[in-house]
Amino acid sequence: MRLKIALLAVMTRWQITGYKLGQASGLDRSVISKLIRGEVKTAEWEKIEQLLNGFEKIDPMARDAFMGALQRPDSTYPLITDATLGFTLARESPELIAEILAILKDLKLVDLAREERLKAVLAEEDPVTDIPPCTLEEHISKKMIIARCDKDGI
């Protein structure tokens, strides 16, 4: 399977942004973006190992899925196509969401007390669902990705 399709399949399934994968793997986000866009058809084993280690840090099952996806034929994932390349990259990035939140705060359109309560809830691991802690920006990013998936029927 092509590297970009394997990356997209796993990133989409686990709702992992290029930013988060970059942080976990140590790869620059621009390298990850190039891999996803198909600008780099193959990668050295060192980069693949970094991606595998990054997925492992996020979720060990994501690592296994990525390794498995690399070994499957392209036809295995017919819904992941070039049309979905921007899916995990642009609008939903936690960095962009942080910038948007800052603007909303400047305009006094954000209830700061509610924001702080939500941040506190998100910072705690949920023992029932075993959902790991995340930032407000990551939470909003995931919600946006899910909404776009629902809208696009993915």
- 83 HSE (CA, 13 A, CB side): 6
Helix (H, G, I), strand (E, B) or coil at 131: strand
Work out the average pLDDT over 70-90.
59
Tell me: pLDDT of 85 over 50.
no
Report how far Cα 11 is from the mean position of its chain's Cα atoms.
5
Judge whether 15 and 1 are in contact, CB under 8 Å.
no
Q: Which residue has the tokens 């399934």?
A: 13
Tell me: pLDDT of 154 over 50.
no
Judge whether 146 and 15 are in contact, CB under 8 Å.
yes
**Structural tokens at position 153:** 């029927």
pTM, two decimal places: 0.52
Tell me: pLDDT of 7 over 60.
yes
Spell out the residues 6+ positions from residue 72 whose beta carbon is closer than 8 angstroms to its own.
1, 6
Work out the average pLDDT over 124-136.
71
Tell me: pLDDT of 51 over 90.
yes
Q: Which residue has the tokens 């790991």?
A: 132
Residues constituting the chain:
154
Judge whether 30 and 40 are in contact, CB under 8 Å.
no
